[in-house]
Structure 1
Amino acid sequence: MKMVDRKVIDLVLLNLIVFFTCGQTSFQCPGGVAFLGTEYTIESGTNNYNGLVWARPTDNTYVATCNPIPTCSFVAGYNATMNVTHSTLTIEHVRVIDACTWKMKDANVVDPIPVDVCQLTVASLPQCSISSDKDTNSLEPGTQLTLTVDTTGYYCSVEAGFDLTTGHVTTELGRYNVSDVSDLTINTNFSVDIPRFGDVTIDFICDRNWTVRCNGVQRLLKSPPHCNITSDTDTSTLDPGTNITLTVDLRNYYCSQQAGFTLTTGVITETLLGNQTMDNVTDIVLPHSLNVTSDHFGDVTVTFTCDSVPRPLDCDGVDKLSGATPSTTETSAVTVSNVTTPGLESSTTPTSPSPVEENPPTDATLGLAIGLPVLFILLIILGVIIYRYRRQIDMYLVARKKTQTELQNSNFNKVE
């Protein structure tokens, strides 16, 4: 009975230790993934230790020793702190040797039992480039396509993987185990169908997924639609104000997200269709009425926008709106020459010179309108001067009159 009780107790204790350790590991190892060359900090409770050591996973090297609290020593590339409740270990620049399970040990016990603290995954995100054996901007359903994915500088301390997504289809490219930073080239072949049209991305898997945007091929696009433009009116001789209807016939188009069409006539651009979603290849006829102005004269073009990428279309039919050529009447200049007729003297009829047109009456009216106010102002000024200097003027006139009288008397005496 005692033996059974002992086994039950041991089993319960073991379960409690496992539960505590797993819970502690998930909390103390935030993210669980560290990138090569970056700083990473691990935190743990002290388990009531008076002193502890941090052991590196790959070689069991003690990279930090904290004993007694709070004194810590550590090797180059690491740092550590400790108080009565918890301890932290900082890896200054994560390396390949830092991957796997970090452990903590009691520094004051001989042959201590290590406690798992953090299952650390070390990774390096790759650079990538995608190339194709065909033009990925002009594909038709059923086309056999080969994409080549070149990756450089990837690493994962656990199993690494690559997935390719084209449109709405994801394809596994492979799973790999590597011991150091590596490069990889992968070829994949498939038949293009409607769900594969759209963005092209690579997912790098290392404990979790990272979507990597690659250089090169960015998306798979269907071939541009066939386009034909017709009009209910002759578009080569249009007068401003004419109402016309242009009909745009679009065949065999598809867009994985939203499609749209615009019509440009001269310098005027108008929306034919916007934000259309579809499940398959589509045909559509779009009539567009407009009242012609001089701004509409010029080239007629249609632009197809798919996944926010505009693509001018090469349309058949109407390609220009032109104004009507104004009618001109040619006037023939007749020149009369002196003609000598036998028996008659040549004569010329003098041509009266063209009368010189006088200035129109408006010039005189304008001059009068300007002159009268000026004259009125001058009279006012003259009146003010006379009023102000009237005494001087009176004295001057009296003196002048006296002088004239004296001069007349003097002349009279001389005559006598």
Structure 2
Amino acid sequence: MLEYTILDVSMTMMHRRNLILVLLNLAVCFTHVTALMDTDCPGGVALLGSEYTIVGDRSNYTAFIWARPSDNRYVVTCNPSCSPVAGYRATINDTHSTLTIHSVGAADAGTWKIVDANVVGAIGVDVCPLIVAGIPQCGISSDEDTDSLQPGAQLTLTVDITRDYCSREAGFDLTTGAVTEALIMKHNVSAVSDVTLNTTFNIDITRLGDVTLDFICDRSWTLTCNGVQKLLKTLPQCNISSDRDTNALEPGTNLTLTADIQNYYCSQQAGFTLTTGRITNTLLEKQTMGNVTDAVLAQPLNVTADHFGAVAVTFLCDNITRPLICAGVDKLSDVTTTSVDTSTVPTEQPYTSNRPTSTPSRPTATEDTDTPTDATLGLAIGLSLLAVLLIIAVILIVRNRHRKGGRTTQLHTF
């Protein structure tokens, strides 16, 4: 009885030892195959139209042929040197052969093989499973203004994809803010194609931010799409106040402007700047937040001539700068340029002479309206005097003649 027991134990230990050896051999084989695949097929994914190189083990062959996956076409024969054909070439050394595809096409997708050229009807040996991808172009459009979105609003994005190809399963993931969704389930593509995809969702904080599209074909590529780049919340409300009158400031005055900003959010980092005239100050920078936020931001100033001018607040979010329309203070004005209300300034009275009103004042040269009257009066007086003088002269002449005539008459009488 004891002998059978010892024999059973010995058999059990032997079986266990054999099982362990088998498992170790399988592990070694698996590791060898994995290492061979990693070495023989670098990259694993070739892009349509690009050049791609495959390295295969040829140590067991003196002459061999590279066979294309899609149609088993013999593209390059190496016996002993390699003869190139249109679109393909190869090189060899003692252990490996390197196949170069000049411009990868859909026909190159699949597992490339090496066929022994010395054996008639030889079956090819797998060398490299090659995946072929065509990176598509894309454009994203929206049914709403994506620069001014209200939380709770419904938004539809339309994604137009052109020249899509993957020799395995293709897929597209759309990311809006912190949310990633599959636009389409992974599917097989038989040829280069175009597709239009839509998604509709309600806006919340998690949706605000960058909009990106990922193309998946064994690996993932983030595409650069035209159109919508970001989803942004509607602009925050803003009011600017001051601790003193901003309409009549003197250089050197200490002034504090306060910006009351409400209902703002940024998916990455938010910031605000305040511009007064030609001077810009940072009110807030690189603020991270988890929800819609309000803030009261104060900016003390020592007023200079460069501060005079328009007052404005700018919102910075996700590397986008957007000016805000603020209520309240919109300008800083210099006291010397402030306009004067002329209705409050007394009107200047004309000069009045202290001389008695009975004595007329002598006309001045500036009294242009009196000059014509004086000239006319002088002319009239002169003409009158001239007429009187002429009359007197005529009378004197007549009188003299009369006297002379009387004397002549008397002489003739005697």
Q: Shared fold by TM > 0.5?
A: yes
Q: How does 1:229-248 map to 2 (within 5 A)?
A: 229-248=240-259
Specify whether residues 325 and 111 from structure 1 end up closer, same or farther in structure 2 by C-alpha distance, changes over 3 A only: same
Max Rg structure: 2
- Give the counterpart of 2:211 among 194, 197, 200: 200
Counterpart in 2 of 1:375?
Answer: none
Q: What amino acid is aligned across from residue 127 of structure 1 in structure 2?
A: Q
Give the aligned CA root-mean-square deviation in angstroms.
3.0
Aligned to 1:30, the other structure's residue is in SS state coil
- Give the counterpart of 2:261 among 224, 236, 250: 250
Confirm whether residue 125 of structure 1 aligns to residue 135 of structure 2. yes
Counterpart Cα distance in 2 of 1:13 and 1:237: 93
Counterpart Cα distance in 1 of 2:356 and 2:195: 105
Counterpart Cα distance in 2 of 1:40 and 1:250: 56
Q: Deviations over 1:117-140 (max 9, x none)?
A: 111001110110000011111112
Specify whether residues 134 and 335 from structure 1 end up closer, same or farther in structure 2 by C-alpha distance, changes over 3 A only: same
Q: What amino acid is aligned across from residue 179 of structure 1 in structure 2?
A: S
Specify whether residues 168 and 11 from structure 1 end up closer, same or farther in structure 2 by C-alpha distance, changes over 3 A only: closer
Confirm whether residue 54 of structure 1 aligns to residue 66 of structure 2. yes
Specify whether residues 232 and 73 from structure 1 end up closer, same or farther in structure 2 by C-alpha distance, changes over 3 A only: same
Aligned to 2:173, the other structure's residue is in SS state strand
Counterpart in 2 of 1:286?
Answer: 297
- Give the counterpart of 1:73 among 74, 79, 83: 83
Q: How does 1:109-188 map to 2 (within 5 A)?
A: 109-174=119-184, 175-188=186-199
Confirm whether residue 103 of structure 1 aligns to residue 113 of structure 2. yes
Counterpart in 1 of 2:286?
Answer: 275
Counterpart Cα distance in 2 of 1:132 and 1:330: 65
- The alpha carbon displacement at 1:13 in A equals 8.9
Counterpart in 2 of 1:24?
Answer: 36
Q: What amino acid is aligned across from residue 149 of structure 2 in structure 1?
A: L
| Structure 2: runs of 5 or more not aligned | 1-18, 366-414
Counterpart Cα distance in 2 of 1:112 and 1:11: 32
Specify whether residues 32 and 232 from structure 1 end up closer, same or farther in structure 2 by C-alpha distance, changes over 3 A only: same
Counterpart in 2 of 1:85?
Answer: 95
Q: Deviations over 1:248-276 (max 9, x none)?
A: 10101000111110001111110111111
Counterpart Cα distance in 1 of 2:360 and 2:132: 121
Q: Deviations over 1:350-398 (max 9, x none)?
A: 9xxxxxxxxxxxxxxxxxxxxxxxxxxxxxxxxxxxxxxxxxxxxxxxx
Counterpart in 1 of 2:231?
Answer: 220
Aligned to 1:97, the other structure's residue is in SS state helix
Q: What amino acid is aligned across from residue 89 of structure 1 in structure 2?
A: L
Q: Is this contact kept in 2: 1:24–1:44, CA < 8 A?
A: no
Counterpart in 1 of 2:329?
Answer: 318
- The alpha carbon displacement at 1:23 in A equals 2.9
Counterpart Cα distance in 2 of 1:106 and 1:17: 23
Aligned to 1:113, the other structure's residue is in SS state coil
Counterpart in 1 of 2:319?
Answer: 308
Q: TM-score, normalised by structure 2?
A: 0.76
Counterpart Cα distance in 2 of 1:173 and 1:113: 42
Farther-moved stretch of structure 1 (110-119 vs 327-336):
327-336
Q: Percent identity?
A: 61
Aligned to 1:237, the other structure's residue is in SS state coil
Specify whether residues 256 and 345 from structure 1 end up closer, same or farther in structure 2 by C-alpha distance, changes over 3 A only: closer
- The alpha carbon displacement at 1:322 in A equals 1.1
- The alpha carbon displacement at 1:16 in A equals 7.0
| Structure 1: runs of 5 or more not aligned | 1-7, 351-416
Counterpart Cα distance in 2 of 1:193 and 1:348: 88
Counterpart in 2 of 1:402?
Answer: none
How many residue pairs get aligned? The number is: 341
- The alpha carbon displacement at 1:74 in A equals 3.6
Q: Deviations over 1:156-208 (max 9, x none)?
A: 00000000011111111112221111101000011111121111100000010
Aligned to 1:37, the other structure's residue is in SS state coil
Q: Deviations over 1:69-107 (max 9, x none)?
A: 2x1224311101122211111111111100010011211
